[in-house]
């Protein structure tokens, strides 16, 4: 299943998508992502990726949706953001230490599978 967004520089779905849904508005696409997700695996990306990541962890943090695994893939890519969350956001008292556990950072595909299985065990 693929959820595509209609943007000026059209993106194409990957070869593993059997069913593709196109959305005009980002917020509708994000609602569909979160409503039906059993896990999020966040790959390195830009503003849209960050938006989807923060939307998911915010909704989990505020208990607006049931918790599900949120996995960041590529520790080197995400290191500075995770450090900022710890060194600035946590230290400022804007999140708790437990809220840093809403997501997991991994480096190998096998670790993604392990994190999701561990959550649902």
Q: What is the pLDDT of residues 36-72, one digit of tens each?
A: 889 999 999 999 899 999 999 999 999 999 999 999 9
Query: Looking at residue 10, what is its pLDDT?
Result: 66
- What pLDDT, on a 0 to 100 scale, did the predictor assign at position 98? 96
**Residue pLDDT, tens place only, 72-109:** 999 999 999 999 999 999 999 999 999 999 999 999 99
pLDDT at residue 24 above 90?
A: no
62-86 residues labelled b (16+ CB within 10 A) or e (exposed): eeeeeebbbbbbeeeebeeeeeebe
Side-chain-facing half-sphere of 35: CA atoms under 13 Å:
7
The structural domains of the chain, ordered by start, are 1-36 (no CATH), 40-120 (3.40.50.450)
pTM (two decimals) = 0.87
Asked whether 60 and 70 are in contact (CB, 8 A), the reply is yes
Q: What is the pLDDT of residue 106?
A: 98
């Amino acid at each position: 299943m693929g959820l595509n967004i209609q943007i000026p520089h059209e993106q194409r779905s990957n070869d593993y998508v059997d069913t593709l849904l196109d959305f005009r508005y980002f917020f509708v696409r994000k609602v569909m992502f979160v409503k039906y997700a059993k896990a999020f695996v966040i790959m390195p990306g830009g503003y849209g990726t960050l938006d989807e990541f923060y939307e998911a962890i915010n909704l989990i943090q505020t208990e607006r949706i049931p918790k599900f695994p949120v996995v960041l893939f590529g520790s080197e890519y995400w290191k500075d953001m995770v450090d900022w969350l710890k060194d600035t956001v946590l230290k400022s008292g804007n999140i708790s230490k437990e809220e840093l556990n809403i997501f997991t950072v991994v480096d190998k595909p096998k670790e993604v599978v392990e994190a999701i299985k561990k959550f649902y065990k």
